Amino acid sequence: MSVATQLAVYGTSLPLFVCAGFVARQQPAPGPPAIAYASHRDGNWEIYVADRNGANQTRLTRRNGHTRFPLWSPDHTQIAFATQRGEPRDGWDFWVMNADGTNQRRLISGLVGKSHREWSRDGRRIALTAEVNGNIDVHVVEVASGRLTRLTTTAAEDRDPSWSPDGAQIVFTSERDGNREIHVVRSDGSGARRLTSNTVKDASPMWSPDGSRIAFVSDRDGSGEVYVMHADGSSVERLTTGAHASSDPPRWSPDGSRIAFQMAEQGRYDIGVVTVRDRRQRVVVATPHNDGSYTWSPDGSELAYVSGPAGRETLHAVNVTTGRSRQLTTTWSLTPDWLR
């Protein structure tokens, strides 16, 4: 394919040196960016994007502190990310930028925790966990203005927020009752209520794509298993058996038919998938190393994840039907997010 043809297909915004490089090697032109991730290849953690095959790897940030945790906006036009401020105790700044790395704007300074964070479906707000004056609470930041609103105010730890698809509510984990339980609150901070009640851990909730159910991890039957319940907390159902699920939030497939989860197996972490309708579960990634930080492809056929020896993890993708895995990066990579 000629350079002129590639520019016609992909648009004049594609850098000419990239097109020329692919012509010289007689390789197919790269696809559009699909996976955002953090890489340490240049001696500092920065945000990169690549297509679904790992090609066209492009660095988007150049910051002084470690920069990680990219998160695509629902319309694919922006990426939120976090940058560490000096020492770990100084916290993280929270930023947003255009999908091509331009217009980088800091939204929050020195507050952001590493807990799960999530865009609202309309792309106007991001729910996150932040520590203020020693209290770990759920907050919402408005992307346009950077205005931060604290939704939970108890002295106990509140974390792992997940939006309802209509943006009206946020489900989260709280220790306000002495152990971890699932709670829900309206997006303006009102109407907080508890959905689960056990003497053991219920944690890491994730709202289903259609808004009807919430997945979570619980130890109520003796070990970590994946459960689902109706959005009002009723009809709790265990989906997995013997999963030894970690506290990493279980991830719904885009069509809501399956849930991916992390398994703690003999001192390492593997990745499993369970079908919601019939509870069929299978291990899709099991290596001698820790496997995790998984994210679904838009069509639900693959999971991107990280795997490898500690400090040398790389990015991979696995077909959840065949179990075939492919390596996407060769340098230390973490925290992938596949646009949906």
pLDDT at 154: 87
Hey, where are the domains in the chain? 1-30
Residue 165: is its pLDDT beyond 50?
yes
User: Is-contact 169 127, C-beta < 8 A?
Assistant: no
pLDDT at 87: 65
Q: Percentage of the chain surpassing pLDDT 90?
A: 74
Top pLDDT among 139 and 65 is at 139
In the structure, what pLDDT confidence band is assigned to residue 64 with cuts at 50, 70 and 90?
confident
In the structure, what pLDDT confidence band is assigned to residue 18 with cuts at 50, 70 and 90?
very low
Q: How far is CA 280 from CA 230, 237, 277, in A?
A: 20, 14, 8
If one counts every other C-beta atom within 10 angstroms of the C-beta of residue 335, the result is 21
pLDDT at 88: 59
Residue 218: is its pLDDT beyond 80?
yes
Residue 315: is its pLDDT beyond 70?
yes
pLDDT at 30: 58
Question: How far apart are alpha carbons 216 and 26 in whole angstroms?
Answer: 47
Residue 238: is its pLDDT beyond 60?
yes
Reading the block at residue 208, the tokens are 């289903």
Of 200, 202, 157, 166, give the one whose Cα is nearest residue 186: 166
Of the listed ranges 113-117, 185-189, 275-279, 296-300, the one predicted with least confidence: 113-117
pLDDT at 14: 34
User: Is-contact 70 337, C-beta < 8 A?
Assistant: yes
pLDDT at 331: 94
In the structure, what pLDDT confidence band is assigned to residue 167 with cuts at 50, 70 and 90?
very high
Average pLDDT of span 2-10: 35
Reading the block at residue 124, the tokens are 């106007």
- What are the pLDDT digits (tens) for 22-34? 333 334 455 788 9
What does pTM read for this prediction? 0.88
User: Is-contact 110 93, C-beta < 8 A?
Assistant: yes
pLDDT at 22: 32
3-state secondary structure of 24: helix
Read off the DSSP letter of residue 19.
H
Average pLDDT of span 178-194: 94
